[in-house]
């Protein structure tokens, strides 16, 4: 009998321990396994007690929310449960809950914002959080988008700021600064001996000041292209480099005409420059300062030339379409001559055209009067949809847009380029540091290259002058707001 009572007591004790162990096991799953338990109501992730599975929480909206307490426990299966929250269930309150055995549990919310029952709202931006019971939560940083730069959009220019010291390059007149897609600025200009063409490049505007220049062509010892090598410009057209320049002859140094060089190398400081010859025009007369631009599939040449029938005019601005970079096609039309008194001081000259495309217009700057302190810059413009070969399409400024000032004299032969990212417009031109010249201005070497920022008014017209004084200036996006 005593034996039976002992056996019965052991059985009772055994049954009580089994019930206690079952409860203890459940607490272990929630607190001491690898899964995390959230009980403060402010957690952003759910907890899975299954150490062999992952729980992914994705939201079609940009916010995730949990209730005051989210605790998920399973042995082999992920089961997500909430009392009053929307974690792992639709936020519309339809009560749907997703559970998978040993698999990922995904949830989509049908609303834009899920709120904690304590009133807090937790927001995530289009990201997936993967919580693994055996690992820490990780962000895939390679998939994140950098939104700090807007250089590839038109909504807001990337911030730019850099310094330029004027004069930038000494004894370089008729400057031309071409910003290419390879990240370099290419610089070319008239040198004081009128004998050679030099080319240099740098990654910044200021860098051109100290860049090594390379002689890429020299005048002929006799005949054509033997004198007065003036105003070279470099352009990249149809995967080749072209230099337009003016030159006289050893037989007649004033028989100045327009010529073209070509180089098919990727880097114009290498390769071979081939002479494509002279560009014939409608008159066999003094012609110079050729530049080219393309618009709507048509390439154009602009240049200055003397019309023998216009005795009172020295040079005028002309335009023509081109069939290739060294051949004119179709009519040759005069766009501008010296109409105003400021264009006729010393000589009745319109020369040195350069093109800028902005604000739905084609702008052409040009220079006028003698090349002393009276030299100044005017402006032509036409709608980008206009017929450029119709003189009536063009408007002309009644006053110069750039003239002597701030101790810079005879500013002229201007052209346009941009900041490195293309958002800020720059004016490049030459000028002297003093007003009075001994002898013929053409024999004076002190025309120096200068650079300054261009601004725009509310009508989309450029604000070009006055010339900035000598010294260092800051070209910056900030300047646009001043």
Give the C-alpha separation, 38 to 45, whole Å: 8
What lies within 8 Å, CB to CB, of 419 at 6+ separation is: 160, 162, 426, 475
Residues with catalytic annotation?
174, 351
What lies within 8 Å, CB to CB, of 356 at 6+ separation is: 362, 363, 364, 365, 416, 425, 462
Give the C-alpha separation, 473 to 162, whole Å: 8
Distances (CA, A) of 132 to 78, 79, 344, 358: 12, 15, 83, 56
Q: Which residues lie across from 415 on neighbouring strands?
A: 428
Is-contact 46 38, C-beta < 8 A? yes
Give the C-alpha separation, 264 to 273, whole Å: 8
The size of the chain, in residues, is 482
What lies within 8 Å, CB to CB, of 351 at 6+ separation is: 288, 289, 304, 315, 317, 366, 367, 368, 413
Q: Which residues lie across from 426 on neighbouring strands?
A: 417, 453
Tokens of 227: 């004198």
């Amino acid at each position: 009998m005593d034996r039976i009572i002992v056996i019965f007591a052991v059985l009772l004790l055994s049954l009580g321990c089994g019930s206690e162990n079952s409860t203890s096991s459940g607490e272990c799953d929630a607190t001491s396994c690898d899964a995390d338990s959230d009980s403060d109501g402010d957690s952003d992730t759910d907890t899975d007690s299954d150490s062999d599975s992952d729980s992914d929480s994705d939201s079609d909206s940009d916010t995730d929310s949990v209730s005051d307490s989210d605790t998920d426990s399973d042995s082999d299966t992920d089961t997500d449960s909430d009392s009053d929250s929307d974690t792992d269930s639709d936020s519309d309150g339809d009560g749907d809950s997703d559970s998978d055995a040993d698999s990922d549990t995904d949830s989509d919310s049908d609303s834009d914002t899920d709120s904690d029952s304590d009133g807090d709202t937790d927001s995530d931006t289009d990201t997936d959080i993967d919580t693994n019971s055996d690992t820490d939560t990780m962000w895939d940083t390679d998939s994140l988008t950098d939104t700090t730069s807007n250089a590839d959009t038109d909504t807001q220019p990337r911030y730019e700021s850099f310094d330029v010291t004027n004069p930038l390059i000494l004894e370089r007149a008729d400057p031309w600064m071409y910003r290419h897609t390879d990240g370099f600025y290419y610089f070319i200009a008239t040198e004081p001996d009128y004998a050679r063409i030099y080319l240099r490049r740098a990654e910044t505007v200021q860098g051109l000041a100290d860049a090594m220049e390379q002689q890429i062509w020299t005048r002929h010892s006799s005949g054509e292209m033997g004198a007065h090598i003036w105003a070279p410009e470099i352009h990249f057209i149809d995967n080749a480099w072209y230099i337009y320049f003016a030159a006289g002859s050893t037989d007649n140094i004033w028989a100045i005409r327009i010529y073209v060089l070509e180089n098919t190398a990727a880097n114009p400081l290498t390769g071979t420059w081939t002479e494509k010859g002279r560009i014939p025009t409608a008159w066999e007369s003094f012609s110079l300062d050729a530049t080219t631009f393309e618009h709507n599939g048509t390439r154009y040449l602009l240049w200055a030339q003397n019309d023998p029938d216009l005795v009172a005019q020295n040079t005028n601005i002309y335009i023509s379409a081109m069939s290739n970079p060294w051949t004119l096609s179709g009519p040759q039309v005069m766009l501008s001559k010296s109409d105003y008194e400021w264009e006729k001081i010393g000589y009745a000259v319109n020369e040195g055209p350069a093109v800028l495309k902005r604000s739905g217009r084609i702008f052409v700057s040009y220079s006028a009067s003698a090349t002393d302190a009276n030299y100044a810059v005017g402006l032509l413009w036409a709608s980008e949809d206009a017929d450029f070969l119709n003189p009536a399409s063009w408007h002309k400024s009644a006053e110069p847009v750039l003239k002597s000032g701030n101790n810079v004299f005879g500013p002229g032969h201007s052209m346009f380029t941009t900041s490195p990212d293309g958002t800020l417009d720059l004016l490049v031109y030459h000028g002297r540091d003093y007003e009075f010249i001994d002898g013929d201005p053409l024999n004076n070497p002190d025309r120096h290259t200068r650079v300054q920022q261009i601004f725009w008014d509310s009508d989309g017209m450029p604000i070009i002058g006055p010339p900035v004084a000598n010294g260092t200036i800051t070209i910056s996006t900030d300047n646009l707001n001043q």
